[in-house]
């Protein structure tokens, strides 16, 4: 097996070669294409920078000695763009000082001509691993710390103001709103701006857990406390000790579990299923629901005392139909986000297409809008037009 075959599993990565020597860029493209990579070429620095603005590349090979805009200028320009591509500088006139300068300016590697193809492939392997790690880290940070709250409408400005006031306190917060409005995003931003931001942030969806397991999930259990309890398990409250517990869909919790949650909030202690030993916990609780809890109280399905414990602060998250002026900002945000996550080329959206999106009635709120944007990116041409919106959305 050749070294080329060894690295085939790194194929399908987008690579750009910037070199004014036609023979070098074309031969390198041919070899890498044979290895399964998707390769573009640029004959000068300006063309290469223009291509990077429109396309997402994992690895960029750039010659240093080029007319007009040399490789060092290209490196400066690409670095200022904030791209996460690995940039590999190549030169037939390299020395240690040049290589060191390239690395200081942000290059991933420096390779001298004539190019050794084994070295090229090893560099691609390492460079793509680095890019994957950067993107994975960014994705994990978004999951931990939450996405930015996009929007400049009056309802969104009010929510931001509420978060800034409430987050530094230890007050419990009840977040209410329809499905898909972004209640969990409000909770994450509250945690991120709180004094507990360095401590655990634990989420639990009360509607997704069977009623017979909710107590074990929240409070933990001892080994042997029930048939499938083969080992001791710490519940969500213990896992969140010192930090924040976000209880989504709190309105779907059973009355028995509600009583135990109330005790934890009152006494700041719990006991695992199968144990009578009390465990002290220090947890800030955010709860969210799409139900009218006052109506649930009247029906006898939700405890009024728990409601008052949870609703020290109430934040109402508006529907998308109540903040349609934010749609252009949200669409732009989702285009950038989706293209960054998937590697799809970015698209411009025509003004009349945006108008149609603003006029649409959004029953699924922000979640529906994101799905629509992704659908349009996949199915549309070079631009997202009004006809695309009529064909794939309306």
- pLDDT tens, residue order, the chain (394 aa): 333 333 333 334 789 999 988 888 888 888 888 888 889 999 898 998 889 888 888 899 988 888 888 888 888 888 877 777 888 888 877 667 777 888 888 888 888 888 888 888 888 888 888 777 776 666 655 554 456 788 899 999 999 999 999 999 999 999 999 999 999 999 999 999 999 988 999 999 988 888 778 888 888 888 877 767 768 888 899 899 999 999 999 999 889 889 989 999 999 988 888 788 888 999 999 999 999 999 999 999 999 999 999 999 999 999 999 999 999 999 999 998 898 888 888 889 999 999 999 999 999 999 999 999 999 999 998 899 999 999 999 8
Rounded to whole angstroms, the Cα distance separating 390 from 394 reads: 5
Model confidence pTM above 0.85: no
- Tokens at residue 266, please? 């009152």
Bridge partners, 39 (sequence order): 15
Residues of the chain with CATH 3.40.50.2300: 3-141
Rounded to whole angstroms, the Cα distance separating 310 from 250 reads: 10
CATH superfamily membership of 3-141: Response regulator (3.40.50.2300)
User: What is the CATH T-level fold of the domain 154-318, as seen in this structure?
Assistant: Rossmann fold (3.40.50)
- CATH number assigned to the domain covering 321-392: 1.10.8.60
Distances, alpha carbon 387 to alpha carbons 84, 298, 333, 348, 391, in Å: 34, 49, 22, 14, 6
pLDDT in tens, 128-177: 887 777 766 666 555 544 567 888 999 999 999 999 999 999 999 999 99
């Amino acid at each position: 097996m050749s070294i080329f075959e060894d690295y085939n599993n790194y194929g399908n990565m987008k690579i750009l070669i910037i070199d004014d020597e036609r023979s070098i860029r074309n031969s390198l493209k041919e070899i890498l294409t044979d290895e399964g990579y998707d390769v573009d070429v640029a004959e000068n620095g300006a063309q290469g920078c223009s291509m990077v603005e429109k396309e997402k590349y994992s690895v960029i090979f750039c010659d240093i000695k080029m007319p007009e805009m040399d490789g060092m200028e290209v490196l400066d320009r690409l670095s200022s763009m904030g791209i996460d591509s690995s940039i590999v500088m190549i030169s037939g006139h390299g020395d240690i000082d040049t290589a060191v300068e390239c690395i200081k300016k942000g290059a991933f590697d420096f390779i001298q001509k004539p190019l050794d193809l084994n070295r090229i492939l090893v560099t691609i392997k390492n460079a793509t691993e680095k890019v994957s790690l950067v993107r994975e880290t960014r994705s994990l940070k978004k999951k931990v710390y939450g996405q930015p709250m996009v929007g400049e409408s009056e309802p969104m400005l009010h929510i931001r103001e509420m978060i800034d006031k409430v987050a530094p306190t230890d007050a419990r917060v009840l977040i209410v709103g329809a499905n898909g409005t972004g209640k969990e995003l409000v909770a994450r931003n509250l945690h991120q701006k709180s004094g507990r931001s360095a401590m655990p942030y634990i989420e639990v969806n009360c509607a997704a857990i069977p009623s017979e397991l909710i107590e074990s999930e929240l409070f933990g259990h001892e080994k042997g406390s029930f048939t499938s309890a083969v080992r001791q398990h710490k519940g969500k409250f213990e896992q969140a000790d010192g930090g924040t517990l976000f209880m989504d869909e709190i309105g779907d919790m059973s009355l028995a579990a509600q009583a135990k949650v109330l005790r934890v909030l009152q006494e700041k202690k719990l006991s695992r299923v199968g144990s009578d030993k009390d465990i002290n916990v220090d947890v800030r609780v955010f709860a969210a629901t799409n139900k009218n809890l006052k109506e649930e109280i009247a029906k006898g399905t939700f405890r009024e005392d728990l409601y008052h414990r949870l609703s020290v602060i109430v934040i109402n998250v508006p529907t998308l139909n109540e903040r349609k002026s934010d749609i252009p900002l949200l669409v732009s945000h989702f285009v950038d986000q989706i293209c960054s996550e998937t590697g799809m080329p970015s698209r411009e959206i025509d003004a009349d297409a945006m108008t149609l999106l603003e006029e649409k009635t959004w029953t699924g709120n922000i979640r529906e809008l994101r799905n629509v944007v992704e659908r349009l990116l996949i199915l549309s041409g070079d631009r997202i037009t009004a006809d695309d919106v009529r064909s794939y959305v309306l």
